[in-house]
Structure 1
Amino acid sequence: MPVPPPTGPLVTRTTLTTDLRALGVLPGETLLLHSSLSALGWVCGGAVSVVQGLLDALGPNGTLTVPTHTGGNSDPAQWRRPPVPQEWWAGIRASMPAYDPAITPGDGMGTIAETVRRWPGALRSAHPQTSFAALGPRAATITDGHATDCSLGEHSPPARLEEQNARVLLLGTDFSTCTAFHLAEYRMASPRTEMGRAVLTPVGRRWETVTEVDVSADGFDELGADFERDGAVVRGRVGGADALLFPVADAVAYAQGWLARHRA
């Protein structure tokens, strides 16, 4: 059976930059990107062209940030998609590779984010489960000081991005991916949970358990729809993808009020 030709649109580095500028991306600004390569259409050069187009739109003074989370580095007792047999748990805890910012790949963050992580000059934060990578002159400011017991709170890149007046770019993804909303959870009386993970220490690998805010994206699509209705969200098209652009600070402030009203 013949394979049908791609339906397009044809997306290139140049068309991406043009579309991003038309959306409102500004040279010199800082972006937090959540993205889907497949949503863009047929991209000549794949994720590399996307990153090049983003860097072209931002210019040499702009900074691009992406999530490079490693959710698989977690306690197997909490795994649900899928669960693993209980008799495996001890073996997994004993053998899970420790998080290493230099080599541990992101888990489920997409090809574009993984390309940024591996880009020459990219810096990556230290949290063993919710790291971020950044490219540009503000990369160190964003990634340094990510406390290993503060996944998405005051001592994490989302808080630094808020301070830098960064904006979120959802490129072919929806509000359920918006990590900025999680910063609002840290500023509320949110429940806490124990989190297990493998970490590197000066004396080698070990398994540790810490207490973290129990973040959840439940309801983020509804939250995002209300935020877009009431807030300063720019919606447009980049390639074949829907794209949304909005300030981190506005998203966090709106989420705090919304979550207080909608979560018990």
Structure 2
Amino acid sequence: MLIDYAGPAPQTRESIAADLTDLGVRAGSVLLVHSSLSSLGWVSGGALTVVHAMLDVLGPSGTLVVPSQTADNRDPSTWMPRPPEAWWPAIRDSLPAFDPDRSPSVRVGVITEQVRTWPGAVRSAHPQTSFAAVGAQAADLMSRHDTDCHLGEASPLAALDAVNGATLLLGVSFHRTTVFHLAEYRQPDPPRRNYACAVRTPAGGRRWMEYEDVVLDDHDFGDLGRDFEQETDAVTAGPVGQADCRLFAIPDAVAYAGKWFTRNRGGGGA
């Protein structure tokens, strides 16, 4: 494959760290990052360089968090594209159980996988919507993630909210803002549905598990994020490399989203 080296100068560990600092990322903070490596331009060292740069800025007292979700660990009837119905029983019987140490994250980018596999990284226990963290508060923030609470009060999102963490959208849109889901859980009587996935048994085997949890609905997160940025002064925008980025405090985003859902979703989920 040919590589196109045209365009601006390459991004380096030092240049990315400088841009993060200019954006407002501070040492000692807790930072939840949603990212697109390609949005940064040509990075010397790729995802490894980006993670080094983020940890350089956060310092030894800071904590870096990423979504390490395993979205394919779910009932095949909900997959898109959907496999033939005749396959569903075999998939349910054979899909590997979630393993925090080995299950790769899915469709959340190579920077996330770099963090997940980083020395000393801690991953939360949810078989579908886990998070991974590196840094001073990693173990505490990842310590609780109940299976019947994807992104609510018994998940790392609530822990991030409690310590006044921040979200960085690194070259991705507000559609990827996971913390908005925490506001869904805090709506009165949010709609619920059944979920299913493969989990490990205490003896080290696997089983197919079904459970009920809140409906996760991100269809309007783009509109929500636009209004959040336009109607408040809580969002800082700026470049990191060639990426268009947003930085904001998680409590601000959750509080605004709760009010926005009340106005735009009729007081509950969609």
Give the TM-score range, shorter chain.
over 0.9
- Give the SS at the match of 1:212: strand
Please, what TM-score do these two structures have when normalized by structure 2?
0.95
Please, what TM-score do these two structures have when normalized by structure 1?
0.97
Query: Residues 1-264 of structure 1 correspond to what in structure 2 (within 5 A)?
Result: 4-79=4-79, 81-188=80-187, 189-203=189-203, 204-231=205-232, 232-264=234-266
In structure 2, relative to structure 1, the CA distance for the partners of 1:181 and 1:3 (3 Å cut) is closer
Note the alpha carbon deviations across 1:131-174, whole angstroms, 9 max, x for none.
00000010011100111110000000110000111000000001
CA contact (8 A) 1:128 1:199 kept: yes
In structure 2, relative to structure 1, the CA distance for the partners of 1:126 and 1:2 (3 Å cut) is closer
Aligned length: 263
Task: Point out where structure 2 has 5 or more consecutive residues left out of the alignment.
Answer: none
Q: In structure 1, how many angstroms separate the alpha carbons of the residues matched to 2:252 and 2:155? A: 18
Q: In structure 1, how many angstroms separate the alpha carbons of the residues matched to 2:228 and 2:168? A: 15
Q: In structure 2, how many angstroms separate the alpha carbons of the residues matched to 1:258 and 1:163? A: 21
Deviation at 1:250, TM superposition (A): 0.5
CA contact (8 A) 1:17 1:57 kept: yes
Deviation at 1:3, TM superposition (A): 5.8
- Give the SS at the match of 2:258: helix
Q: In structure 2, how many angstroms separate the alpha carbons of the residues matched to 1:50 and 1:202? A: 37
Note the alpha carbon deviations across 1:96-155, whole angstroms, 9 max, x for none.
000000000001010000100000000000000000000001001110011111000000
Taking only the aligned residue pairs, the percentage that are identical comes to 51
Question: What's the Cα RMSD here?
Answer: 1.2
Deviation at 1:9, TM superposition (A): 4.1
Note the alpha carbon deviations across 1:159-204, whole angstroms, 9 max, x for none.
0000111000000001000100000010112211110100001132
Q: In structure 2, how many angstroms separate the alpha carbons of the residues matched to 1:2 and 1:257? A: 49
Q: In structure 2, how many angstroms separate the alpha carbons of the residues matched to 1:230 and 1:18? A: 28
- Give the SS at the match of 2:64: strand
Task: Point out where structure 1 has 5 or more consecutive residues left out of the alignment.
Answer: none
> Match of 2:165, as an amino acid?
A
CA contact (8 A) 1:9 1:239 kept: no
